[in-house]
């Protein structure tokens, strides 16, 4: 008991060596915790960027599929270097695509998919269609392999693939969807 009284009544403080050892241990522990938190934060940011890129591509794909379902006539080719338009949809059934009348054009400008000239999503590397064109020979008629019934209407499904831009150490991602375009006509102009 006398030793306990001596420890409690002794007004002796910590030595400089004890304080330095305590600070060193605290610094090592703090740096370890900071390193773990920093790694978790960076990992979270990379995951968020991946999710955002894939979600943007999914939104564009779903929107294109919904618009294709509404269309009465469809035109996919626009592979000329003078046009950024990748998909034209005649919604109201008149021949030709007039965006002011309710018809729809999707374009790829830089890394943006645009809907009638307005940005829909960004960070897109490419958009591809299968089949890539309905009128390969540009004769104004549907290609014979797409018109199995010989009735002038498309008899196939359309596969759309949207590829995101690679960002930093993140690779590009491809989102693919398929929509029935059976019984749709070809836009002739």
Per-residue model confidence (pLDDT) at position 188: 60
pLDDT above 60: residue 52: yes
Q: What are 50's two structure tokens?
A: 């991946």
Question: Distance from first CA to last CA of the chain, Å, rounded?
Answer: 104
Per-residue model confidence (pLDDT) at position 140: 64
pLDDT above 90: residue 118: no
pLDDT above 70: residue 7: no
Q: Does 25 or 70 have the greater pLDDT score? A: 25
**Entry pTM:** 0.70
Confidence of residue 25 (pLDDT cuts 50, 70, 90): very high
For range 51-77, the mean pLDDT:
85
* 89-108 tens-digit pLDDT: 777 666 666 666 678 888 88
Q: What are 41's two structure tokens?
A: 């934060």
CA distance 84 to 93: 23
Q: Does 137 or 108 have the greater pLDDT score? A: 108
Q: Could you give the 3-state DSSP secondary structure of residue 119?
A: strand
Question: Picking from 54-68, 69-83, 99-113, 156-170, which range would have the lowest pLDDT averaged per residue?
Answer: 69-83
- The answer for 123, left when phi > 0, alpha when psi is -120 to 50, beta otherwise, is left
pLDDT above 60: residue 88: yes
Q: Could you give the 3-state DSSP secondary structure of residue 89?
A: strand
- CB of 175 closer than 8 Å to CB of 162: yes
CA distance 112 to 125: 8
Q: Could you state, in order of their start, the residue ranges of all structural domains in the chain? A: 15-186
């Amino acid at each position: 008991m006398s030793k306990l009284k001596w420890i409690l009544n002794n007004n002796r403080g910590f030595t400089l060596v004890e304080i330095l050892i305590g600070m060193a241990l605290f610094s090592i522990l703090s740096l370890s915790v900071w390193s773990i938190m920093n790694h978790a934060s960076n990992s979270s940011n990379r995951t968020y960027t991946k999710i955002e890129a894939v979600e943007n591509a999914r939104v564009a794909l779903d929107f294109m599929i919904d618009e294709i379902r509404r269309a009465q006539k469809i035109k996919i080719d626009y592979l000329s270097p003078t046009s950024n338009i990748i998909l034209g949809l005649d919604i109201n059934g008149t021949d030709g695509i007039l965006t002011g009348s309710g018809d729809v054009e999707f374009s790829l400008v830089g890394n943006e998919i645009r809907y009638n000239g307005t940005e829909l999503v960004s960070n897109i590397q490419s958009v591809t269609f299968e089949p890539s064109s309905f009128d390969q020979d540009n004769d104004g008629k549907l290609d014979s392999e797409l018109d199995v019934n010989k009735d002038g209407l498309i008899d196939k499904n359309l596969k759309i693939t949207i590829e995101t831009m690679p960002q930093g150490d993140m690779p590009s991602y491809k989102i693919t969807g398929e929509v029935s375009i059976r019984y749709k006509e070809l836009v002739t102009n």
